[in-house]
């Protein structure tokens, strides 16, 4: 299944701006102050990186929908 949506969910924890997601998938994530998903990205091209970033996030705030 391909990833259709990626977002920051801070309902339980907050992004610590550690930059790990940006280092794993710089084509998808930016961390100016808090993580943001770059607009217009074709998520299907970076599925492995998105999954890795979500799994590696220390606060588990990166979510995605297939």
| Structural domains in the chain, sorted by start | 5-65 (3.30.70.20)
- Give pLDDT tens digits for 18-61: 999 999 999 999 999 889 999 999 999 999 999 999 999 999 99
- Entry pTM: 0.93
10 Å CB burial of residue 25 (0-12, 13-18, 19+) is: buried
Q: Is the pLDDT of residue 1 over 90?
A: no
Given the structure tokens 């217009």, which residue do they identify? 40
For residue 31, give both structure tokens: 């961390």
């Amino acid at each position: 299944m391909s990833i259709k949506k990626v977002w920051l969910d801070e309902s339980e924890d907050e992004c610590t701006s550690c930059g790990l997601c940006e280092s794993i998938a710089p084509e998808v994530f930016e961390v100016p102050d808090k993580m943001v998903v770059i607009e217009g990205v074709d998520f299907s091209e970076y599925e492995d990186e998105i999954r890795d970033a979500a799994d590696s996030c220390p606060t588990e705030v990166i979510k995605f929908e297939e």
